[in-house]
């Protein structure tokens, strides 16, 4: 078998060659190599806009790649252990939707964790698939959803043997990994496909001390946010296929239903370069990520009042493995919420964390971090404890433990007649919208589900803590759409 040269960057090389020709443009984009947007060119540097060009023969086309994009995608596929790969310029959300659309017809069942990203719910609306939710395990001390147990997957398969696929998260936002390899084996024995949302796991395939990547675990498809932890530009992701049951041509066809015909070459060359870096230097770079992550945890846990959690959770319900690049810090013993710590860090210390919830903050340690920035974070947390720490820990408000009852499919709910009511007046009604805290973008309620008092209480608790809620047409989430025609008179 011919050895793959992962040091190549075919798309990046082609774009540099095009730039060096100093072509006179009479095509789009209209800024014409930056001349028509001088203020931005001056701020970013002219070269950025000079390489923001349109698809053409020498640069290939994302909708039907047969040249340098295809070469770059093939290199990415091999880097991740797959047979085929597809560049995504609308984030992993588009990859999640493509996977489900490629595998599920209207009415097909798909098994998935309740803490799946909102893009999976959007895929239900687009495909007409019926979600069969598995409740993830809840970690009482942290107050967050973990992974799903193998037993819960077995139960879902036994109850729904006609399900077409199982959708998994690898890892969760906080770094928790389910026993994906065993789940894949079980699913394939039952004739079901396994699809993976690896929005937060782009790095894991390239170092043996991280959990198994989805493709390495045997999954059929994986949508991977290279931009989150792999080094590419925001919005650039990868879809990897490694299945005898899903045709590569079908996946391309599905992607072409929704993806742009004017893909950004800045995003695509960043994927080409990030893949090269991961494939050729990933082990070395991730050694540094692990060293920084472990150093940060040790230092933070010595402060007192904070709990930076990691691999000690392995073996607890829903936690088969753990991604150490996710620096989750539980803050409840300080008597402060994660939201309060997030705001203090931002306003007083000029530090931006990834997400916050009622009990935790999450910092991502990735390829670009340095010891200096870690030390600044550690000192800030020490200062916050001295200045703001309280004696009494706040009560944990956990998400509802029961899955809402699905009354109608997400697709039918989306297209049904709806009316707007006050949030608390919606108890007992069927939701016509989703509500989620973003990040992480995990819905509390989705279209077609029955709204309970427990759900409304939780949403109101999130609002009181100034969580960033979205999904409803009402930006303040005071009102929600429910199914049913507007009363007359």
Q: Residue 470: which pLDDT band, with cuts at 50, 70 and 90?
A: confident
Based on the domain organization, do 430 and 383 belong to the same domain?
no
Based on the domain organization, do 376 and 477 belong to the same domain?
no
Q: What is the 3-state secondary structure (H, E, C) of 80-134?
A: CCCCEEEEECCHHHHHHHHHHHHHCCCCCEEEEECCCCHHHHHHHHHHCCEEEEE
Phi, psi at 323, each rounded to 5°: -95, 110
Q: Residue 394: which pLDDT band, with cuts at 50, 70 and 90?
A: low
In eight-state DSSP terms, residue 204 is G
Helices (H) then strands (E): counts for the chain: 15, 20
Based on the domain organization, do 268 and 371 belong to the same domain?
no
pLDDT at 33: 94
Of 222, 257, 279, which one is at a domain's C-terminal end? 279
Q: How many domains does the chain have?
A: 3
Closest to 482 (Cα-Cα) out of 438, 402, 437, 427:
427
Instruction: Report DSSP letters for 405-449, one per residue.
Output: PB-S-HHHHHHS-EEEEETGGGTTSBBSS-EEETTTTEEEE-TTB
* CA atoms within 13 A of residue 7's CA, in its CB half-sphere: 1
Closest to 369 (Cα-Cα) out of 349, 346, 344, 352:
352
Closest to 96 (Cα-Cα) out of 254, 278, 266:
254
* Interatomic CA distance for residues 396 and 399, integer angstroms: 10
Based on the domain organization, do 352 and 418 belong to the same domain?
no
Based on the domain organization, do 205 and 64 belong to the same domain?
yes
Based on the domain organization, do 244 and 347 belong to the same domain?
no
Give the range of the structural domain holding residue 423, as residue numbers without chain letter.
Answer: 410-483
Residues 333-352: tens digit of each pLDDT: 999 989 999 999 999 999 99
**Assigned domain for 366 exists:** yes
Residues 5-62: tens digit of each pLDDT: 999 999 999 999 999 999 999 999 999 999 999 999 999 999 999 999 999 999 999 9
Are 382 and 306 in contact by the 8 Å Cβ rule? The answer is no
ω into 24 cis (within 30 of 0): no
Give the domain CATH number at 441: 3.90.100.10
Based on the domain organization, do 190 and 295 belong to the same domain?
no
Of 279, 304, 338, which one is at a domain's C-terminal end? 279
**Assigned domain for 394 exists:** no
Based on the domain organization, do 53 and 129 belong to the same domain?
yes
**Assigned domain for 4 exists:** no
Are 194 and 165 in contact by the 8 Å Cβ rule? The answer is yes
**Assigned domain for 393 exists:** no
Residue 462, C-beta contacts closer than 8 angstroms, at least 6 positions apart: 358, 437, 444, 469
Based on the domain organization, do 267 and 312 belong to the same domain?
no
pLDDT at 220: 98
Of 279, 311, 344, which one is at a domain's C-terminal end? 279
Give the domain CATH number at 157: 3.40.640.10
Based on the domain organization, do 154 and 239 belong to the same domain?
yes
Based on the domain organization, do 292 and 272 belong to the same domain?
no
Give the domain CATH number at 297: 3.90.1150.10
**Assigned domain for 488 exists:** no
Based on the domain organization, do 468 and 366 belong to the same domain?
no
Task: Give the helix ranges, DSSP H, for 327-482.
Answer: 338-349, 371-388, 410-415, 453-464
pLDDT of residue 401 exceeding 70: no
Mean of the pLDDT values across residues 67-90? 98
- Buried/exposed code over 378-390 (b: 16+ C-beta within 10 A; e: otherwise): bebbbebbeeebe
pLDDT of residue 183 exceeding 50: yes
């Amino acid at each position: 078998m011919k050895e793959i040269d992962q040091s190549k960057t075919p798309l990046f090389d082609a774009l540099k060659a095009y730039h060096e020709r100093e072509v006179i443009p009479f095509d789009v984009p209209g800024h014409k190599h930056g001349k028509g947007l001088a203020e931005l060119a001056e701020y970013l540097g002219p070269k950025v806009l000079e390489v923001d060009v349109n698809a053409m023969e020498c640069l290939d086309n994302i909708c039907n790649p047969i040249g340098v994009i295809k070469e770059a995608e093939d290199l990415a596929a091999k880097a991740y252990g797959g047979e085929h790969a597809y560049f995504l310029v609308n984030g992993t959300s588009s990859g999640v939707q493509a996977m489900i659309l490629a595998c599920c017809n209207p009415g097909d069942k798909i098994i998935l964790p309740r803490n799946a990203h909102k893009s999976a719910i959007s895929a239900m609306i687009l495909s007409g698939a019926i979600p069969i939710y598995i409740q993830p395990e809840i970690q009482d001390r942290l107050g967050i959803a973990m992974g799903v147990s193998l037993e819960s997957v077995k139960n879902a398969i036994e109850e729904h043997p006609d399900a077409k696929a199982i959708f998994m998260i690898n890892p969760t936002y906080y770094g928790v990994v389910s026993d994906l390899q065993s789940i894949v084996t079980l699913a394939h024995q039952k004739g079901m496909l396994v699809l993976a949302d690896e929005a937060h796991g782009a790095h894991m395939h390239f170092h043996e001390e991280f959990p198994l990547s989805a493709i390495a675990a045997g999954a059929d498809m994986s949508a991977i946010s290279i931009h989150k932890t792999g080094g590419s530009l925001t919005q650039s992701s990868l879809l990897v296929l490694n299945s005898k049951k899903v045709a590569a041509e079908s996946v391309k066809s599905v992607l072409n239903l929704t993806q742009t015909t004017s893909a950004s070459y800045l995003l695509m060359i960043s994927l080409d370069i990030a893949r090269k870096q991961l494939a050729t230097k990933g082990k070395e770079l991730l050694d540094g990520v692990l060293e920084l992550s472990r150093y940060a945890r040790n230092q933070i846990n010595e402060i007192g009042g904070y709990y930076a959690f990691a691999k000690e959770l392995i073996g607890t319900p829903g936690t088969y493995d753990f991604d150490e690049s996710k620096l989750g810090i539980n803050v409840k013993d300080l008597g402060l919420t994660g939201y309060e710590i997030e705001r203090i860090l931002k306003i007083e210390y000029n530090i931006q964390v990834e997400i916050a919830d009622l009990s935790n903050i999450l910092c991502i340690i990735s390829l670009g971090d340095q010891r200096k920035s870690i030390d600044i974070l550690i000192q800030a947390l020490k200062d916050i404890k001295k200045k703001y720490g309280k004696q009494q820990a706040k009560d944990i408000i956990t998400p509802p433990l029961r899955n809402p009852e699905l009354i109608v499919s997400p697709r039918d709910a989306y297209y049904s007649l709806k009316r707007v009511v006050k949030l608390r007046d919606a108890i007992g009604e069927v939701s016509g919208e989703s509500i989620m805290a973003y990040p992480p973008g995990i819905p509390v309620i989705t279209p077609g589900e029955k709204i309970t008092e427990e759900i409304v209480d939780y949403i109101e608790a999130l609002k009181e803590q100034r969580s960033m809620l979205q999904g409803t047409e009402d930006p303040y989430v005071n009102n929600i759409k429910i199914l049913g025609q507007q009363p007359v008179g």
